[in-house]
Each structure stands twice: as structure tokens, then as C-alpha cells.
Amino acid sequence: MSIGEYKAVLDIGTTKVVALIASHNVNSGNLDILGIGASVNEGLRKGVVINIDKTVKAITQAISIAEQQAGVQVQSITIGIAGDHIQSLLSRSIIAIPNASREISQFDVQRIIDDAMNVKLPADRQILHIIPQEYIIDGQDGVTDPIGMSGVRMESNVHVITALLSAIQNLQKCIERANLKVNRMIINPIASSNAVLDDDEKEVGVALIDIGGGTTDIAVFRDNVIRHTASIPIAGNQITEDISSGLGILFNQAERLKRDFGHATVESILHEETIMVPGISGRNPLEINKSLLARIIGPRLEEIFEHCFEELRKSGYIHRLPAGIVLTGGSSLLHGNDDLASRIFGMPVKLGIPNGMNFGGFGSEIEHPMFSTSVGLLIEQKNIPNAKSESPKQEMTPEVIQPSESTDKNEKQSFIKKFFNFFDEL
């Protein structure tokens, strides 16, 4: 397979790095998943690089596994970025249409985007995404595609997403040291939304809550436009730390308990069970039950959802989400999570999982919330067949996102089980 016939993406999370390699299937028009690689990451905290060497090691390991499986060598990738340093703001751009034509062209749309990029920011921040909410032509609002329309004055309400410059540079440095180049950099909630939300949900109004290891990311959609984004520095790792400190056990033991026996509420436990945890340094084994574990997990999850509720309230869309809440991310699988969230938000809640039927090759292997971001990054890549690679030393070009018009079960879980074994071997 020659260079350029495949797409490679990298989800660099606080707890894990996931690499996917795919190719475009000419016959079906879909993407074929060729390679999947994953590794435990100990180099990030809350989405920010704190140890370059450990992050490079995790990236290299994930990429190597995916390359070996796909039989290709990766040179450039699209990456996801998250962290509580991600911030968003609303801006308004205004331009005049030249007297000669009075007809709005693609050039005029680019002019208004360029105007939005001139928003004043602190020196330590960089624009990642420019998202026009709507266009206003001579006072007529609600326009999603202004090209070809006539007018004298065009305005746009623009959603600007920024990130800490040092966080971007450190992430790029890790990619460079892994002998890779960055095609595009996309914030995780935008990527995840491509994998788990459909157009109907985005049209009527929906909030995506991606509960990762270090951060919980939020994206609000209405009228097929991203209306609000936010990141909360509380997520799955904090739940694991609560279990570890509350029971006096190792972090890796706590992670395994959370994953295998964790419940968000005591009411969601159908069968009580006593769990034996090996003692530390020859001490006697510890006996706990699911109810005790749930009473440790529940309060932290409530705190996460309450912070998310406050973000939705500040966005002004808390009562404008008929499609409710969609939960995704590795920490969204705790039993009873959806019921607890529904009680706090007062609206429907469902679990968002990438649909493997939309992909060929190893498509069935990615049907898990932990792959939401990486699958979403692939879908973004599919939309740009010939994305140009940029050197990681260059400043990333802001991404412009325009409003849009409206097998065997054990086999599917085999890769996921292999990944979780990383934690058990630590």
C-alpha cells in the first residue's frame, strides 16, 4: 500500500494511547480498519504532558502495534487533544460585501473567518478551532450557507476554541520524537461526536459528555452546530484514586475493581458479591463487597455530573436538549451510570458507542466507548482525502468547522481484553 492511501490517527489520553490505521474502501465508500494499537500512558496528567519520555514511549508502542497489524508505516497522523486548558469564547465578525457584485463568495466567507482569527488572546494561548454558529446577511439571521446570496453586510457569530500554547508545543514535541508529523489537531469532544452522535440528535439538541481518564469533556450541539465546549479536570482517574485511598489498596488494584465490579449506585447492583483483594507485602487479603465500592464511586460521579450540569446551565442550553445526554469514554461504562446521570440532569441519557458496522476490516473491534475519540478522528480524516502534513515545529493552522445542513461477541471484545491486560500486568 503506497503512502497516502491510508489514514492514521492517535488519541493521546491521560491513561492510554490509541492508534488506528484505516484505508478508504473504493467499493463500499467506507473506511476499513487495518490496524489497532493501544498502550498505557503514564506521561500525561489531566490531558497535559508532564513526562515527555513516557509519553513518547506510549505513542511509539501504540503506533508500532497498529503498523505491524496493518502492514504499513505511518509518517503523519491526526491527533486528538484534551485537557482543562482547553477554553472557548464567543466572538462576532463583520465584513462588507464589495460593491461590484454584492454576491457572497467563498472568498468573503474566508474573510469573515480571517476576521474571527484576529480576536485578542493572551500570548500563551493559541486558536485550535473556528466554528461559525450562523451567518447574518443584512440583518437576516439563521443563515448556514451564505455563498451565492446577495447582501451588503455579512456578520457571523463565531465559537472560538483555544488551547494553552505550551500544552500544544509539548504534545507536538512528543509526536516529533516519535518520528511522526501532525496533519491536524482536533479537540476530543468534537472528534468523539463524529463517532457517537447522529445528525438528528445534533439537529434537535444534544450534549455529549466524554468521561476519560484525566478530564471530562463536554460538547453541546443544536441545529447541527457546536454551540458550547468545555473540559472538567475530574474524571475516571479521580474515581480510581478514591477507591485506592478509601480501601488502602494499590492504584492498579483499584482500577481493576472499578472496571470489573464498579457501580454508580447501590440500586444498580442486582447481585451482591464479596470481592477478595490481595494484601500488600504479605498482609491478609481484603474483603469488600459491591455495595461498599458503589458508595465510594457514586459521590465522585455525582460531582462530575454536577459540574457538567453547571457547564450546560452556563451555556444557556440546559433546557434546549430534546435528545438529552450521550455518555461516552472509557469511564462511562460503570453500571448504573446512565440512571445516575438521568436523575441529575432530569433528561434522557444513553451510552454512546462507535458503530463497527460502518467500518470494514477490524470494524467490530472498535465497538467500545474507549475508541470514540480515535474513531471520530478517522471520520474527520475521511472528510479530507488529501490532508497536507505539517511539520510539528510549525504553528498549527486553526481548524474551521462550518455549520452543516441538516460478528461474534467474544471476537469483538478480544482487543479490548488485550488492552485491559496492560493494567493487570503493571
pLDDT digits (tens, 9 = 90+) for 109-150: 999 999 988 888 999 999 999 999 889 999 999 898 899 999
Residue 123 confidence (pLDDT): 92
Overall residue count recorded for the chain in this entry: 426
Per-residue confidence band for 102, with pLDDT thresholds at 50, 70 and 90:
confident
Domains of the chain: 87-163 (3.30.1490.110)
Residue 84 confidence (pLDDT): 86
Distance between CA 368 and CA 230 in Å, rounded? 23
Residue 383 confidence (pLDDT): 56
Per-residue confidence band for 1, with pLDDT thresholds at 50, 70 and 90:
very low
> Where is pLDDT greater, at 4 or 358?
358
> Where is pLDDT greater, at 412 or 238?
238
Residue 28 confidence (pLDDT): 78
What residue type is 198 in one-letter code?
A: D
Residue 392 confidence (pLDDT): 35
pLDDT above 90: residue 414: no
Residue 366 confidence (pLDDT): 92
Residue 408 confidence (pLDDT): 47
Tell me which H or E stretch contains 303.
Answer: helix 290-315
Residue 386 confidence (pLDDT): 37
Residue 416 confidence (pLDDT): 57
Structure confidence by residue, pLDDT tens digits, 265-289: 999 999 898 898 887 877 888 899 9
pLDDT above 50: residue 411: no
Q: Are 230 and 311 in contact (CB under 8 A)?
A: yes
* Mean pLDDT of all residues in 18-44: 90
Residue 173 confidence (pLDDT): 95
* Mean pLDDT of all residues in 358-374: 90
Residue 304 confidence (pLDDT): 97
Per-residue confidence band for 396, with pLDDT thresholds at 50, 70 and 90:
low
Measured in degrees and rounded to the nearest 5, phi and psi for residue 45 equal -140, 120
What residue type is 151 in one-letter code?
A: G
* Axis crossing angle, helix 290-315 with helix 251-261, rounded to the nearest 10: 80
Residue 421 confidence (pLDDT): 57
Q: Are 298 and 326 in contact (CB under 8 A)?
A: no
Nearest to 96, CA basis, from 153, 50, 176: 153
Distance between CA 351 and CA 369 in Å, rounded? 8
Q: Are 8 and 78 in contact (CB under 8 A)?
A: yes
Per-residue confidence band for 406, with pLDDT thresholds at 50, 70 and 90:
very low
Residue 30 confidence (pLDDT): 83
CA 213 to chain CA mean position, Å: 11
Cβ neighbourhood burial of 106 (10 Å; 0-12, 13-18, 19+): exposed
* Coil vs helix vs strand at 128: strand
Question: What are the CB-based long-range contacts (under 8 Å, 24+) for 106-112?
Answer: 106/147, 108/146, 108/154, 109/146, 109/147, 112/154, 112/155, 112/156
Structure confidence by residue, pLDDT tens digits, 330-354: 889 899 999 999 999 999 999 999 9
Helices then strands, each counted (H, E), the chain? 12, 20
- Three cell numbers, residue 25: 474502501
Cβ neighbourhood burial of 166 (10 Å; 0-12, 13-18, 19+): middle
* Axis crossing angle, helix 236-247 with helix 251-261, rounded to the nearest 10: 110
Per-residue confidence band for 199, with pLDDT thresholds at 50, 70 and 90:
very high
Q: Provide Rg for the chain, Cα atoms.
A: 22
Nearest to 50, CA basis, from 237, 180, 184, 185: 237
Residue 47 DSSP code = T
* Mean pLDDT of all residues in 379-406: 55
User: Mean pLDDT in the chain?
Assistant: 87
Residues 6+ apart with CB under 8 A from 30: 358, 359, 360
CA 218 to chain CA mean position, Å: 9
Q: The pTM is what?
A: 0.86
pLDDT above 90: residue 167: yes
pLDDT above 50: residue 405: yes
